[in-house]
Amino acid sequence: MEAINASIDVDQRMASQDIRGSRAHARMLAQQGIITDADAETIDAGLGKVAEEIQHGLLTFRRELEDIHMNVEARLREIVGEPAGRLHTGRSRNDQVATDFRLWVRDSADRVDAGLKTLITALLNRAEAEVETILPGFTHLQPAQPVTLGHHLMAYVEMFSRDRSRFADARARLNESPLGAAALAGTPYPLDREMTAKALDFDGPTRNSLDSVSSRDFALEYLAASSILAMHLSRMAEEMVIWSSASFSFISFTDAWSTGSSIMPQKRNPDAAELLRAKIGRIFGAFTSLLLTMKGLPLAYSKDMQEDKEVTFLAADAVELSLAAAVGLVEDFQPNRDAMRAACLKGHLTATDLADWLVRSLNMPFREAHHVTGTLVALADDKACRLDELSLEDLQSVHGAITQGVFDVLSIEASVASRQSFGGTAPVRVREAISAAKDRLT
């Protein structure tokens, strides 16, 4: 029973949040005349000593006391004696753990936001340096149209910026204090829940005592936001793995962010990117695990909910580590601009530009222009050359109205420069996007 019931091995991570909540509760009890000022001062000083002991690793946690709440209270009683028994007046472990957990998740959300801001800054710096670097853009992992590396990196800036907003939204919703809801029905003591909420930097108290102790949707929303962020990190890591392969050779990593083989001395493996990609599974798993834990629980508290913290803590560790690794990878990778440009010269990436030229210059319906361009692509394949290497006579053999002006749009540089619609890959637009993103980065 002790083995399955105890949670101290996991929830000791909430020690600082637990002590913070208890200090706020004691001060409120004194203000409301529920305990004396002298007892509140004694409790506060004792809790300060407990916090100090935990910080310096001097407190031995005991499994027979089950959890962080009882371990802290037991040590407080050893330090201050009888006043410690008054601390739990007007509260339950149910609202206590809900408060501690909200505080912990909120702290983690703030750390994630800081990590995202660092990652976005790293991406903006790299994008600014690569505004003119051209590489193939892909659909279906097939070369499609030329884009700039700066534009490509800015796509991740947009994704991670939305991730920041998701965490901000989740934080706003979780920022209510359950403290004072007691076991499930409230308490007969004249608590000032607004006071404790303010002391703990919550926007206010929760509005229903049953919901206060039995809901974990704040943790689920944190894990949902973490899962979407993790998916974005995994996509970026996957591209780094592909781009650093010998088949692409678009980027390389220094020894600081790659490893060698135990048997093949010529190899440099993108292990950090692969591990970043792999870490994502435990984050998805945590979200699913907590959903399954909560889905069948009646109101209010059930012991099943003790399982909420372990998966959330593991996911939070993975998210924070993954963000730090992503920053390192973004700052470290070295672009092979020649290889990127050479890849753009394969696969007729300016075929769409040719079709667009036919529409603009010859007033040709796009579907007809698409057909003409497809015929010219086949002709270039037959001649084993690029579209811009076809002669004017070759082009006119398919459609006689084509003029010399078509060659102005067939280079990859011209293609990239022409994509000047808002959000496009033209360097002028990418520079604007970088500037705007920097302005938004607060």
For residues 43 and 87, the answer to whether their CB atoms sit within 8 Å is yes
Give which of 168, 188, 180 is closest to 207, Cα–Cα. 180
SS3 230: helix
How far is the C-alpha of 203 from the C-alpha of 213, rounded, in Å?
18
Q: Could you confirm whether 151 is annotated as catalytic?
A: no
Give me the catalytic one of 56, 140, 262, 421.
140
Residues 6+ away with beta carbon under 8 Å from 321: 279
Between strands 334-335 and 251-252, the pairing is: antiparallel
Sequence-distant (6+) residues with CB within 8 A of 135 are: 146, 147, 148, 149, 152, 250, 340, 341, 343, 344
Catalytic-labelled residue, pool 261, 302, 391, 435 = 261
Helix (H), strand (E) at residue 323: helix 308-332
CB burial readout 309-330, b (16+ within 10 A) else e? bbbbbbbbebbbebbebbbbbb
Say what angle helices 308-332 and 271-294 make with each other, to 10 degrees: 160
HEC sequence for 54-121: HHCCCCCCCHHHCCHHHHHHHHHHHHHCHHHHHCCCCCCHHHHHHHHHHHHHHHHHHHHHHHHHHHHH
Closest among 57, 97, 105, 56 to 73, alpha carbons compared: 97
Identify the bridge partners of residue 145 per DSSP, sorted by sequence position.
Answer: 137
Taking residue 24's Cβ as centre, other Cβ atoms within 10 Å add up to: 22
Cβ–Cβ < 8 Å for 109, 210: no
140 in catalytic set:
yes
The radius of gyration of the chain from alpha carbons, rounded to an integer in Å, stands at 30
Contact 134, 147 (CB under 8 A): yes
Q: Cβ–Cβ contacts within 10 Å for residue 101, how many?
A: 23
Q: Annotated active-site positions, please?
A: 140, 261
